[in-house]
C-alpha cells in the first residue's frame, strides 16, 4: 500500500523513543493512522501539531500493517496555540475528528469542512466569526456518520414554517406553536442553522448546546470522555467571551 495525499493533523501519540503514531484526515482516504519516525525531534515537532495542513506519503507492506508516513508541512496553524480560544477550538475539532471517524473510510465533505473551519478560526478576529462554522461542522459530522438531525419540517405538523426548537429524543425540528407547551424540554434551534448567515453569541451558544447533546449521546461514549472534556472547556470559554457565562 502506497499513496500520497494532502492531510490535516488530528492527533498524536508517542510511540517508542523518538517516533509517534499520528492520525491524519485526508479527502480521498479518510482518517489514517501512521507511524512517523523522528516525530518528537526538533524538526518534526512543529510540523505534527493538530490543525496543521501537511503533505503526507503513506507506505505499508500490506493492508493490515500500520503504515509509515513521511510528512511535509503545507501550512502551520501553530501561532494560534498562543491564543486560548482558537487553541481550544482547534484542539476540539481535531480531537473530535480523530475520535469519531472510522479509519480508512473517505469523508471528503468532512475533510474540506474541517479545512474551512480551521481557516475561519485563523482568519476571524474573534470567535463570533467562526462559532457558527464550528456548529455547522459538528452538524455535518453527525450527518455523515448517520446521526443527522431532521431540521426541514415540524415533527408534529410537517410544516417548514417558524421552526424554533428540536426534540432531544428524535432530533426533529418543532414549530413555535407546537413547541410552546414543551419549551423547557426542547432544544432551541437558532435561525442560522437552517438559514445560514452570521450568528450572534447567544445563537452560537444555542447551536453548540444543540450539537453537543447529540454528539455526547450518539458518538462520544465513555472511552471518549477526555474529548468530551475538551469540548466542555471550549464551550465555557466561548460563553465567557460572549458575556453569556
Of 61 and 140, the structure prediction assigns the larger pLDDT to 140
pLDDT band, residue 225 (cuts 50/70/90): confident
Tell me, letter by letter, the H, E, C secondary structure of 173-236.
Answer: EEEHHHHHHHHHHCEECCHHHHHCCCCCHHHHHHHHHHHHHHHHHHCCCHHHHHHHHHHHHHHH
* Pairing mode of beta strands 68-75, 150-154: unpaired
What pTM was computed for the model?
0.94
- The topology under which CATH files domain 2-76 is OB fold (Dihydrolipoamide Acetyltransferase, E2P) (2.40.50)
Cell of 217: 449521546
Q: Centre a 10 Å sphere on the Cβ of residue 89 and count the other Cβ atoms it contains.
A: 27
Given a cut of 80, is residue 16 above it in pLDDT? Answer: no
**What's residue 62's pLDDT?**
82
| Mean pLDDT score, 119-136 | 94
In tens, the pLDDT along 170-224 reads: 999 999 999 999 989 999 999 999 998 889 999 999 999 999 999 999 998 776 7
What are the C-alpha distances in Å from 65 to residues 7, 18, 34, 60, 90? 20, 20, 10, 6, 30
What is the model's pLDDT at position 233? 87
Residue with the larger pLDDT of the pair 118 and 61 = 118
Q: Would you say the C-alpha torsion 204, 150, 89, 55 has a positive or negative sign?
A: negative
- Among 126-140, 181-195, 199-213, 229-243, the range scoring the smallest mean pLDDT is 229-243
Of 223, 229, 239, nearest to 91 by C-alpha is 229
Residue 55 has which C-alpha cell? 503533505
Give the mean pLDDT of 156-167.
Answer: 94
Share of the chain above pLDDT 90, in %: 79
Tell me what pLDDT residue 214 has: 96
What is residue 178's predicted lDDT score, i.e. its pLDDT?
94
- For 81-241, CATH gives 1.20.1440.120
CA-based diameter of the chain, in Å?
A: 62
Residue ranges of the domains in the chain? 2-76, 81-241
Confidence at residue 80, expressed as pLDDT on a 0 to 100 scale? 94
Predicted confidence at residue 245, as pLDDT, reads 66
pLDDT above 70 covers what percent of the chain? Answer: 99
Amino acid at each position: 500500500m502506497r499513496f500520497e495525499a494532502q492531510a490535516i493533523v488530528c492527533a498524536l501519540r508517542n510511540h517508542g523513543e523518538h517516533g509517534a503514531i499520528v492520525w491524519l484526515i485526508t479527502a480521498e482516504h479518510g482518517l489514517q493512522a501512521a507511524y512517523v519516525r523522528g516525530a518528537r525531534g526538533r524538526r518534526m515537532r512543529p510540523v505534527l501539531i493538530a490543525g496543521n495542513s501537511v503533505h503526507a506519503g503513506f507506505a505499508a507492506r500490506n493492508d493490515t500493517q500500520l503504515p509509515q508516513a513521511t510528512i511535509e508541512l503545507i501550512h502551520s496553524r501553530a501561532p494560534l496555540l498562543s491564543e486560548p480560544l482558537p487553541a481550544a477550538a482547534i484542539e476540539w475539532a481535531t480531537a473530535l475528528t480523530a475520535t469519531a471517524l472510522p479509519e480508512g473510510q473517505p469523508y471528503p465533505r468532512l475533510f474540506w469542512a474541517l479545512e474551512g473551519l480551521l481557516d475561519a478560526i485563523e482568519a476571524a478576529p474573534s470567535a463570533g466569526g467562526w462559532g457558527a462554522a464550528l456548529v455547522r461542522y459538528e452538524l455535518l459530522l453527525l450527518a455523515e456518520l448517520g446521526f443527522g438531525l431532521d431540521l426541514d419540517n415540524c415533527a408534529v405538523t410537517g410544516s417548514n414554517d417558524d421552526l424554533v426548537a428540536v426534540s432531544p429524543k428524535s432530533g426533529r425540528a418543532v414549530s413555535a406553536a407546537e413547541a410552546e407547551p414543551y419549551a423547557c424540554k426542547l432544544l432551541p434551534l437558532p435561525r442560522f442553522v437552517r438559514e445560514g448567515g452570521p450568528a450572534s453569541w447567544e445563537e452560537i451558544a444555542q447551536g453548540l448546546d444543540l450539537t453537543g447533546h447529540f454528539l455526547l449521546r450518539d458518538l462520544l461514549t465513555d472511552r471518549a470522555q477526555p474529548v468530551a472534556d475538551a469540548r466542555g472547556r471550549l464551550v465555557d470559554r466561548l460563553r465567557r467571551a460572549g458575556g453569556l457565562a
